[in-house]
Structures are given as structure tokens and as C-alpha cells.
Amino acid sequence: MEEKMKKGIHPEYYDTTITCACGNVIKTRSTIKDIKVEVCSACHSFFTGQQKFVDAAGRVEKFQRKYGKKATPSTVPKKKKSEEQ
């Protein structure tokens, strides 16, 4: 006995093209017809091994100016007792 899916409760399923901002095109199936993404596996730093900042409004530079150059107590090397005397 073959059971079928219920009618009317499942979304439509389409052949889909996923287009990345880098130009990579992926063909798959989805409930959405065409999908546009900013980052894909061809250009994401996790998969390529290259570090790349996706920065809006200079947030990375602002963070580095605010916190990047300061020496915190945990990063300052401790003096040995022989050096203190």
C-alpha cells in the first residue's frame, strides 16, 4: 500500500538559482524561486582560508582604534624575581 502526501498543506517546490554577489551561481531546489546572497562557499573566508572583513561604516577600524593598541594587564609580561633585585 503506497501512502501519498496530503494535498494542499505542502508549499510549492521549484527549481531554484542561487546567485552570489561574487558571481557564483548554484542550481538547486527550494520553495523560493530565485535567491540572491552576499556570501557563498566560493567566497566565504571559512572555505577559502583567506581572512576578509565584510565591514559596514568602518566598524572594524573603529574597534581597532578603540581596543586594538592598548596593553591589558593579562598581556603585559610579568617580571621574574631575579630581574627585580
Spatial distance between the Cα atoms of 8 and 17, rounded to a whole number of angstroms: 25
pLDDT band at 54; cut points 50, 70, 90: low
Do the Cβ atoms of 25 and 18 come closer than 8 Å? yes
pLDDT band at 85; cut points 50, 70, 90: low
pLDDT band at 82; cut points 50, 70, 90: low
What was the pLDDT predicted at 42? 81
Spatial distance between the Cα atoms of 20 and 25, rounded to a whole number of angstroms: 6
Would 21 be classed as within a structural domain? yes
Average pLDDT, the chain: 76
Neighbouring CB atoms inside 10 A of 62's CB total 11
- For residue 56, the enclosing domain spans 14-69
The CATH number given to whatever domain includes residue 59 is 4.10.80.400
Residue 71 has pLDDT above 60, yes or no: no
Do the Cβ atoms of 30 and 11 come closer than 8 Å? no
Q: Which three cell numbers stand for residue 46?
A: 571559512
Would 45 be classed as within a structural domain? yes
